[in-house]
Chains A and B, each alone.
Chain A
Amino acid sequence: MDLTLVLQGVVSGLLFGGVYSLMAVGLTLIFGVMRVVNFAHGDMMVWGMYLAYVLATRAGIDPYASFLVCAAALFALGFVVQRGLVDRIVDAPHEMQILLMLGVALVLENVALVAFGPEPTRVRSPLASATLWLGPVFVDVARLVTFLVAVALTTALWAFLFRTDLGRTIRAAADNTYGALVVGTDVRRVYAVAFGVGAACVGAAGALVSPILPFQPPTGLSLSVASFNIVIIGGMGSLLGAFVGGLLVSLAESLGAVFLKPSLKELFSFSLLIVILLIRPAGLFGRRSA
């Protein structure tokens, strides 16, 4: 086996893992706070991508600058979806939540199809074609930047949840909704903010990957599935778990492509899921529910 190829696989896998991590962080936050699985997660990411696309093509703003705008827009979308729809079924059985979120996913996908057409698209950015060479190993600058921003955003999210009053309130509502209500917390507002922040994360992720990952309206489903896989590996509701899970899954896929046929690389990531579920049913960093 060519050592350069293995090294290249590790570098590419880790860097692309940043993208996966950012995708999964938003999903795990929403689940951790509300116990609602957001099946529209991938479609929200696709909307982040399309917003970046519109900003790039209409206003000439590079996605590496516009990702904060996309995050803000997706925050608003998440907030509205939570207040208008999810809030009504927070206490409903899981199957009703799943149906509702699948409905939201269908609406988002098909509105994108009507608005942007079916063609796969990619946002052009000068950064996306830049490469660095470390000896024989090449580093994709766009992925490096995405990786660094993903680390920064995850750290910022952690600081928000653990170092601010609103963050503490969100965690309190997640830990014990009844207790939070007793001390006068506006839990409905907290839920809407948490859903908005989760959507903002995936909106930022969408904008950041829009120059490296081609997208079209139906892309959302595969992104949702990848996010679920990562979140389950990392532990449902765990921020660190989602981040590490993203890196692990990407690394597993990349090395799977090096050592096996690339068409079998997803076998690696889903095998990882099964192994981790067998050894740690709550995921790497998940807590067992009472």
Chain B
Amino acid sequence: MTHRLTRRTFLETTAGGAAVLGFPLPLRAQPKTFKIGAIHPVTGALAEPGQACRLGAKMAVDAINAAGGVKGKGGIKLELLLGDTQTKPENGRVEAERVVTRGAQMLLGSFDSGSTNAMVSVAQQRRVPFLIDIAAADPITANVAQSVKAGQQKVQYVYRNFPTGSSFGRKAVQYFIEIFKEANVSPKRVVLMYCNDLFGQNQAHGFQAAHKTANPSWDIVEVIPWPEPPTDLSTEVSKAKAAKPDIIAPITRPASALLLFPEIRKQRIEMMGIVGPGSPGIYESGQIVQLKEDLEYVLTSVPWANFKNPKTATAAEEFRRRSGGKTFDTNSGYSYDAVFVIADILERATALDDPDAIVDAMKKTNYSSGLMQYGGPVAFNELGDNANAIPTMIQILSQKPVAVWPKEAALQKFVFPRPRA
């Protein structure tokens, strides 16, 4: 049998050969990577926490890749496609679209609830599993879960490993009650002050709702929201003072915290202390350097790293080195854990090129090697939230944030009521 070289076979062969030679890269064995679109506010008003999140995620990717990648999937390496929301909520969507178009197979992000919410529609429309590393507003996952339940959407692609606003509220009220009892004091008047953005509103409403349910012996006598970012908080603090508070409960952002705490000191409000229901602005190393004694003895209920775990100390040391001396905290820690949770999901997923297979693995997550303080393993409930993501009450003592409550997480005993100046 002879092969006759026809014009057609010649063209097929040469065209095929030219394609191989001309475009060699896609056909050769490449180092395999699984692309994760990691979107955070690395510029703009929330740049500090956003950059901490990005570095946390990078550290985790480096650690996973150095240890051989996702071993169950042929050692596939993780690759971050980085995105920046510039602290503009609408950019969450724009950046998510961009990284997905560039090949992101999962999404990670994005610190503030506004931009995270904007990313959700991209995840759902383009079927890209999305693990929220930080963002507290309840509706982000609840709305998707509801529309899936109502049959408007088939699959929920959005999951969150972070406390929700309502769980923040419940835990904060619980910790308030426990700490007051432990300190053997009975404050009566609490003034709630908060930044009036999506995050602040959600936190404040969660705290108020939890207070109503728990019905403790103390009342929220005044609620003072301010526009974020504020230029002046003197009148707000005067208003708080006029309410004769035993406790001021602030929900801040880094910039507003720099205005609020000095103002509270300047106006000499006599009270037992400042106890926050949970917000950034109080524990970051840059904030402590700026606010110094104004932050001393301030308590706040925030998601915190479990420093009783030796691995946390190692990661914190690496973070300190790579960030130029910053603390491994809520932001870096939760982004770090999120990447490890993703790696765990990928290990268990039946196929990496099928988003629904990844979602199936996500739903069955039961991960217990996180560095943050959890109430149990990372697992997602019917809303897509991890109910075991809980905050810890920390206090600034000797200019350092220290876990002080609950007892199992505490590294030191809290100081409350704060000593009189």
Contact = CB atoms under 8 A, between A and B. Distances in A.
B48 A254 contact: no
A216 B45 CA distance: 7
21 contacts: A2-B242, A4-B242, A16-B232, A110-B43, A113-B43, A119-B48, A120-B286, A131-B267, A138-B266, A213-B231, A214-B258, A216-B255, A218-B43, A218-B45, A219-B229, A219-B255, A222-B229, A254-B232, A257-B226, A258-B235, A262-B235
Interface string A108-131: 001001000111111010001101
A265 B234 CA distance: 13
Nearest to B231: A213
A237 interface: no
Interface in B257-308: 258-259, 262, 265-268, 284, 286-287, 290
A120 B258 contact: yes
Nearest to A9: B235
Contacts of A266: 227
Nearest to A8: B238
A289 interface: no
B266 A262 contact: no
Contacts of A120: 45, 48, 254-255, 258, 286-287, 290
Interface string B123-136: 00000000000000
Interface string A1-38: 01011001100110010000000000000000000000
A216 B234 CA distance: 20
B234 A16 contact: yes
Interface in A159-201: none
Interface of B: 42-45, 47-48, 50-51, 87, 196, 224-227, 229, 231-232, 234-236, 238-239, 242, 254-255, 258-259, 262, 265-268, 284, 286-287, 290
Given A218-B45, A263-B225, 11 more contacts: A2-B242, A12-B235, A16-B232, A113-B47, A120-B45, A120-B48, A120-B258, A128-B262, A214-B259, A262-B226, A263-B227
B43 A118 contact: yes
Contacts of B234: 8, 12, 16, 140, 143, 254
A219 B259 CA distance: 14
Given A121-B290, A138-B267, A266-B227, A218 B242 contact: no
A144 interface: no
Point out which of A12, A129, A214 has the most chain B C-beta atoms below 10 A from its C-beta: A214
Contacts of B268: 131, 138
A64 B307 CA distance: 43
B294 to A, nearest CB: 9
The 4 closest A-B pairs by CB, nearest first: A118-B47, A214-B258, A263-B196, A263-B225
Contact of A9 (B238, B258, B262, B265): B238
B238 A12 contact: yes
Interface string A252-265: 01100110011101
A226 interface: yes
Contacts of B239: 5, 257-258, 262
Nearest to B233: A262
A205 B377 CA distance: 53
A128 B43 CA distance: 29
Contacts of B286: 119-120
Interface residues of A, number: 41
Given A118-B43, A140-B266, A216-B47, A262 B238 contact: no
Interface of A: 2, 4-5, 8-9, 12-13, 16, 110, 113, 117-122, 124, 128-129, 131, 138, 140, 143, 213-214, 216-219, 222, 226, 250, 253-254, 257-258, 261-263, 265-266
A129 B265 contact: yes
Contacts of B43: 110, 113, 118, 217-218
A73 to B, nearest CB: 23
B224 A262 contact: yes
Point out which of B50, B266, B287 has the most chain A C-beta atoms below 10 A from its C-beta: B266
B224 A131 contact: no
A119 B290 CA distance: 10
Contacts of A4: 242
Contacts of A8: 234-235, 238
A261 B290 CA distance: 28
A248 to B, nearest CB: 15
Contact of A5 (B44, B227, B229, B242): B242
Contact of B258 (A113, A122, A138, A250): A122
B232 A253 contact: yes
Contact of B51 (A2, A12, A110, A118): A118
B235 A13 contact: yes
A213 B225 contact: no
Given A214-B258, A263-B225, A122 B290 contact: yes
A272 B219 CA distance: 36
Nearest to B196: A263
Contacts of B236: 257, 262
A218 B224 contact: no
Contacts of A128: 262
Given A213-B259, A257-B236, A218 B225 contact: no
Given A118-B51, A120-B254, A129-B266, A226 B231 contact: yes
A242 to B, nearest CB: 17
B105 to A, nearest CB: 29
Nearest to A138: B267
